[in-house]
Chains A and B, each alone.
Chain A
Amino acid sequence: MNQRPLPEPNTESLFENLSIDIDSLPHAEHIAFDPIERKYANILYLTTSIFFFVLLILMVTLLIPRLGLLYWVSWASLLLWVFLYLFSMWFAWASVRKKAYAIRDKDISYKTGVFFRQWITIPFNRVQHCEVSRGIFDRMFGLVELKIFTAGGSSSDISIPGLKPDVAHTLKELVINKVDSLDEEE
C-alpha cells in the first residue's frame, strides 16, 4: 500500500497494559505478495464486453429509434457508452494487477482494489472451510477461484480469482492442513 516514510507514532501509548514489544512481532507489511494470473484480465475483458454490447444493442434498438439519430441525446449517450466502455476495460486491466495474495505460517492475506485498496488477513485458526470453484469463464481460460470462508456473515470471507488449478489446489491443501493441525493442537 502506501510506502511513503512517516514519523513513527508513539507506540507505547497505543496499547495499554502491553507486555510485549510491538516491533518484535511479525510485520505483515513486509510479506512478499504473489500476484494472480494476468490471464484473469481476459475473463474481465470478456464479461465487460458482453455487458457493454448488450447495453449497446438495447440503446440502438430501443433508445435511438425513438429519439432519432440526429438528436444530441443520442450522440451524447453513444459517446458516454464509448467512454464508460474504455474506462471499464482499463479498470479491468488495472484491477488484475492489484490483486495479490500471501501466505504466512499462520495466516493468509489478500489485497485488492484500484482506487479503494483493501487488504484482509484471516488467521488459519479462524477458517471454517475452503473450496476451489470454476465458473464457465474460468473454464474457458483454464483458471479457478479459491474461496476461504469464515463463520458468521460473508464480510470477512476471501475469494481469490485467477489462479492456476494446480496452484489453487496446493493452496487449498495447505490451508486445510494448517487448519486441521491447529485443531489437533487444541
Chain B
Amino acid sequence: MKKSEDSWYRNPTRQSPIAIVMIVFNIVKSLIRVWWPIIILLFFRSSMIGPDTGKPLVIGAVIVIILFSIWRYLRFHFYLSESKLHVQSGVFTRTKMDIPFDRIQTISFEQNVIHQLFNVTKLKIDTAGSSKEEFEFAALEKAKAQDLRNFILSRRTNFDVDTGVATDHVPDQKLLLALEVSDLVKVGVSQNHLRTTGIILAFLLGLRDRIEEALGESYVDQFDSLAEQLFQNIFTWGIGLFVILLLASFIGTLFYTVFRYYDLRLWKTSEGYKVQAGLLNKIEQAAIDHKIQIVRWVSNPLRRIFGIVHLRFYQASSATGNRSINVTVPGYPEDKIYQIKKFAFGHKYIEPQVSHGIDRSFFWRRVLFLGMLPATLFCILGWLDQRLTWFVIGGLWFIIIGVFQHYYQKKWAYFLTDRECITSHGVFEIVNKAISMRKIQGVQIWQSPFQRRRNLSSIILHTASGDVKIPFIPYQVSLQIKNYILYKIESSRGKWM
C-alpha cells in the first residue's frame, strides 16, 4: 500500500456523494416501515384525498426528502487525529462525536448493488461501552475506507495478547470454506421450511387484522367470502393454504439463501474468523476468538444426507441482545466440526466419548403439559360441539406428542470434559452447543416442585452471549457440575470476553 503523502483523513472530509442516494433510500425505507398502513390506505382510497391534492403531496414529499438528504450529506464531516475518530453531523441538532480508537471493536464493510456499482462501501463501526453505540458511514470510496481501517487498526494501543496481531494489514489467514452455488442450493433446500411456513402464516394472520384496521371490514369480508367459496370446509382450506405457503417458503428460502450467502468464504485468521458473503449486499463479519462464547451447530435429516450443518458463533457484545454480532456459517461440512472445536477450545481439546442422558420424568412432564392438557381441551370442545372430529384431533395430538417427546428425551445428551461442556438435543433437527467452562459467568440450579419430589434439578450455565441449559438431571449431579465449573472459573486467569 503506498502511503499517501498528505493523508486526506487529517482534514475534515465528506463521504462519497453516493451517500446522498443511500440517505434518501434509508429515509424512504424507514418512512415506509412506520407509515405503511396509511400508505396502503391512501393507495386504495385515493378518492379520499382526490388526485388533485395527491400528486403535489407526493412530489412535495420527494423534494423535501432529497433536499434534506443533501443537507445531511453536506453537514457530515469526519477526520482522524492521532488517537480518535472525530465526526460532526446533524441537520437540526449538531452533534460532535469523538471515538477513541481503543474503544473501536470492529470495523466492517458492507456493499449493496449501488455501492458495488460505484465502488464505494458502507462502513460500520462498532464500539465498546456501557451504552449501545454503533456508527456507520453511508457510503465511502473503497480506497478511503481501507485507508481509514488500516490507520485505526495501526493506532490501537490496547491490544490483548490475542488481538495484537491485528496490527498487520494482512493478518495471515487460512481459507476454511468456500461455498459454490450448488452448495447454497443444498443449504437452501435443507432449511426448516415448516418453521418458515409457520412464521409466514402467523404474519399473514396478523396482516389480515392490520388490513382490516386500515381498509375497513368490507374488503376483508370480500376476501373471506372468496376464500369460503374456494374451500368449503376448514380442513381443505387449512391444508391448501399450508401447501401453498410451504411451496412459497421453499422457493423463497432458496432464493434468499443464494442471495444472502452467495460466494460465502470463511477464513480462520490469527484473531478469529472472518466471513464474507452476499450477492446484492456483500457483508463481511468477524468473530474474535476470545469473544466467542458459544459455538452452535444444527443438523436435520436433509442436512445429514448432504453432510452439512448450520454453524453459528455467539459473541459477547457491549449491547444487550445485539443479535447482529452472531456470525452464521451455513453449509459447513459436518465432518469438519472437529476442526472448529479444536480452534475454539485449543489444541488440548479431546473429543468427549461418554454421553449422559436426562431423566425419564422429563418425558412424563412434557407429555402431561404438551400432550394431555391440549388433548383434554380438544375433548371438552368435542363434548360441547358434539362432533367426533375434535376427539380425533385430540387423540392424534396426544399420540404425536407422546412419540415425539419419547425420542426427544431419549436423544437428549450432554458431554463433560475437564474443560468443556457440550449439549445435544432434538429429534429431527439436532441442536448442538459447545461451551468452554471458563467462559461461564454464572451457574444456576433450578428446581420445580415436580423435580424436587424426584430429587432432580436443571442446571443453567450463563455466558455473556446466551445460556446453556441441561434439564432434569439428578440434583447431586448438578451439584457436582456446579462445584466443578465454579472451581474452573475461579481458578482461571485468562480473558474470557
Contacts and interface: CB of A to CB of B under 8 A. Distances in A.
Interface of A: 1-2, 4, 6, 8-9, 11, 13-20, 22, 25-29, 106-107, 113, 115-126, 150-156, 185-186
B479 A29 contact: yes
Contacts of A19: 418
16 contacts: A1-B457, A1-B475, A2-B455, A2-B457, A11-B480, A25-B487, A26-B483, A115-B449, A117-B446, A118-B447, A119-B444, A119-B445, A120-B442, A123-B489, A126-B440, A153-B320
B441 A126 contact: yes
Given A8-B476, A11-B480, A155-B462, A116 B442 contact: no
Given A122-B441, A156-B444, A150 B464 contact: yes
Contacts of A1: 445, 447, 452, 457, 475
B185 interface: no
Given A117-B446, A118-B447, A150-B442, 20 more contacts: A4-B455, A9-B474, A15-B484, A16-B417, A17-B350, A17-B417, A17-B418, A22-B483, A25-B484, A26-B486, A27-B479, A27-B483, A28-B482, A29-B483, A123-B490, A151-B441, A153-B321, A155-B462, A156-B441, A156-B462
A152 B320 contact: yes
Nearest to B462: A156
A9 B417 CA distance: 17
B482 A121 contact: yes
Which secondary structure characterizes the binding site on chain A? loop
Contact of B316 (A18, A119, A152, A154): A152
B317 interface: yes
A115 B453 CA distance: 12
Contact of A116 (B317, B356, B447, B479): B447
A152 to B, nearest CB: 3
B166 interface: no
Nearest to B484: A22
Contacts, number: 142
B466 interface: yes
B479 to A, nearest CB: 5
A157 to B, nearest CB: 8
Interface string B458-492: 00001111110000001111011111101101101
Which secondary structure characterizes the binding site on chain B? mixed
Contacts of A115: 448-449
The 6 closest A-B pairs by CB, nearest first: A156-B462, A156-B442, A152-B464, A126-B441, A151-B464, A120-B444
B486 to A, nearest CB: 6
B78 interface: no
Contact of B443 (A8, A22, A121, A154): A121
B489 A125 contact: yes
Contacts of A120: 442-445, 462
B398 interface: no
Contact of A28 (B447, B483, B497): B483
Given A123-B489, A151-B464, A156-B462, A14 B356 contact: yes
B138 to A, nearest CB: 30
A156 B415 CA distance: 23
A123 B449 CA distance: 27
Given A19-B418, A27-B483, A152-B464, A2 B475 contact: yes
B416 interface: yes
B446 A121 contact: no
B78 to A, nearest CB: 30
Contacts of B464: 150-152
